[in-house]
Amino acid sequence: MHSVISPGDFVIDATCGNGQDTVFLAQLTGRQGKVMAFDIQAEAIEKTRQLLLKHQCLEQVILIEDSHANLGAYKPEKIKAAMFNLGYLPGGDHNIITSSNDTIAALKTIMDNLVLGGVVTIVGYPGYDAGQQELNEISKYLSGLTQKNFEIINIKAINQRNNPPQILVCSRINGGI
């Protein structure tokens, strides 16, 4: 993301959780840019707000307590980057997890509005059944995107025990808005 995001860019944190990724993105966009950060839990939005305040970068972030499935309603345009960190809120309720339907709905909006050279990262957790299924369904959707316009890579550690996280990296290489 360091090499993709420049000051002034518009980016999305689809799952802000405890706010680490939102702070990371806000530091890259700077105050000239904008980060739209989503989470369905009020607790996550508040934790993210506090972390942003601590790092003095709340100004460039729009915090949205809503599902990323509704992303289209917020009219995102010219997206340079988006991050998804799937699963549950660390230290929170482990029963509240992301779902492939919501993630794919958000991805569709993002892919339609991703600028040329823009990148989307998705970190998934195959260590539990629903996490593996979610990754499978997201991979199925992504593998259907035309290779002319998108390059999609799956990064997977092959010498680690206990099903480590996987990272899907999607780059727009042609077209875009």
Ligand X SMILES: C[S@@+](CC[C@H](N)C(=O)[O-])C[C@H]1O[C@@H](n2cnc3c(N)ncnc32)[C@H](O)[C@@H]1O
134 binds ligand X (CB under 6 A): no
Select from 25, 26, 79, 85 the one that contacts ligand X (CB under 6 A). 85
Residue corresponding to tokens 């290489």: 173
Q: Please, which residues have CB within 8 angstroms of residue 76's CB and are 6 or more apart in sequence?
A: 10, 12, 36, 109, 110, 113
Q: How far is the CB of 169 from ligand X (least distance, A)?
A: 16
Point out which span in 9-17, 112-120, 141-149, 153-161 binds ligand X (CB under 6 A). 9-17
Select from 21, 35, 107, 121 the one that contacts ligand X (CB under 6 A). 21
As beta bridge partners, residue 122 has 84, 168
Select from 102, 113, 131, 171 the one that contacts ligand X (CB under 6 A). 102
User: Beta strand 10-13 with 34-39: parallel, antiparallel or unpaired?
Assistant: parallel
Q: Where are the alpha helices (DSSP H) in the chain?
A: 20-29, 42-54, 100-112, 129-143
96 binds ligand X (CB under 6 A): yes
Select from 69, 82, 111, 168 the one that contacts ligand X (CB under 6 A). 69
Contact criterion met (CB below 8 Å) for 80 and 5 = yes
Residue corresponding to tokens 């050279």: 117
Gap between the Cα atoms of 82 and 70, Å rounded: 15
**Residues between 24 and 63 with contacts to ligand X, criterion CB under 6 A:** 38-41, 44
Point out which span in 16-24, 114-122, 136-144, 158-166 binds ligand X (CB under 6 A). 16-24
**Residue 16 vs 135, nearer CB to ligand X:** 16
Select from 33, 87, 118, 131 the one that contacts ligand X (CB under 6 A). 87
Contact criterion met (CB below 8 Å) for 142 and 111 = no
Where on the chain is the footprint of ligand X (CB under 6 A)? 15-21, 38-41, 44, 67-69, 85, 87-89, 96, 98, 102
